[in-house]
Amino acid sequence: MSAPRIAIAALFAAAVPVHAADSNQTTLENKIAQCQGCHGIVDWKTAFPEVYRVPKLGGQKANYLVAALKAYKSGERDFATMRAIAAPLSDQDMQALANYYAEKK
Amino acid sequence: MKKILVASLLALALPAVAASGDSEAGKKKSTPCAACHGANGVSASPDFPNLAGQYDDYIVKALSHYKNGKRKNPIMQAQVANLSQKDMLDLAAYFSSQKQLAVKH
């Protein structure tokens, strides 16, 4: 390998993890935004099939939130909106979202 | 005429009564809940959700869903088996009056 090629390869190697971290951050922010559409609004209510206020998540236990998301993803917990939201989430996504909401502020 | 007036007042009042629980009564009924969810509605275990400050209508909905089997959890299923609608409203009034959970903005 020539010196310039090594340099280019080294630059790529250095650049890739940074890019990945950036896009993870962006993805998490997008995912949080999805939750906030309902859970970030005071007194926001479900409309179907029953009407009640969606639960407050700020200050909730992270383990519980992960378990809830997994139960929605598996279909064990049955609420159409949450099943659709949870379906594409990875275990890492769920943990990151749970950690975000476990902090009250 | 007076009777009609009283009857219509009662008709107006009943839905409001049905929708709100008695927090003091709920406190007395909450002893079994405290074992997992904490006496102050803040759970000692990371696996059990905090109830303190949760919306009362969400708590009632969760308890009803455990009772009718829509939401499945062996522990909760046993706990709610003998709860009446009034019990659920009272417990929800009690836990929603405590402080922990918040809508995270």
Q: Which domains does chain A have, with CATH numbers?
A: 3-102 (1.10.760.10)
Please tell me the distance from the alpha carbon of residue A87 to that of residue A74, in angstroms, as a whole number. 8
Name the minimum distance, in Å, from the CA of B82 to any CA of chain A. 22
Cα separation values, A90 from A20, A76, A95, B32, Å: 16, 17, 9, 35
CATH number, domain B2-96, options 1.10.30.50, 3.40.50.11810, 1.10.760.10, 3.40.50.300: 1.10.760.10
CB count, 10 Å around CB of A98? 20
CB count, 10 Å around CB of B42? 18
| B103/A58 CB distance under 8 A | yes
| B100/A76 CB distance under 8 A | no
Residue with tokens 């790529």: A12
- Residues of B within 8 A of A64 (CB-CB) are 46-49
| B72/A76 CB distance under 8 A | yes
ipTM field: 0.82
* Residue B90 burial (C-beta neighbours within 10 Å; 0-12, 13-18, 19+): buried
Domain extents in chain B = 2-96
Please tell me the distance from the alpha carbon of residue B42 to that of residue B27, in angstroms, as a whole number. 14
Nearest Cβ partner of B101 from A50, A56, A103? A56
Please tell me the distance from the alpha carbon of residue A89 to that of residue B62, in angstroms, as a whole number. 23
A75 touches chain B (CB under 8 A): no
pLDDT tens string B38-75: 999 999 999 999 999 999 999 999 999 999 999 999 99
| B55/A59 CB distance under 8 A | no
pLDDT tens string A13-65: 555 555 555 677 778 999 999 999 999 999 999 998 899 999 999 999 999 99
| Single pTM value for the model | 0.80
According to the model, what pLDDT value does residue B16 have? 44
Any bridge partners for residue B74, and if so which?
none
Query: What would the mean pLDDT of A84-103 be, rounded to a whole number?
Result: 97
A48 touches chain B (CB under 8 A): no
Please tell me the distance from the alpha carbon of residue B95 to that of residue B50, in angstroms, as a whole number. 9
Residue with tokens 């609420």: A79
Which of B 64-83 lie inside 8 A of A, CB atoms? Answer: 70-72
- Residues of B within 8 A of A100 (CB-CB) are 104
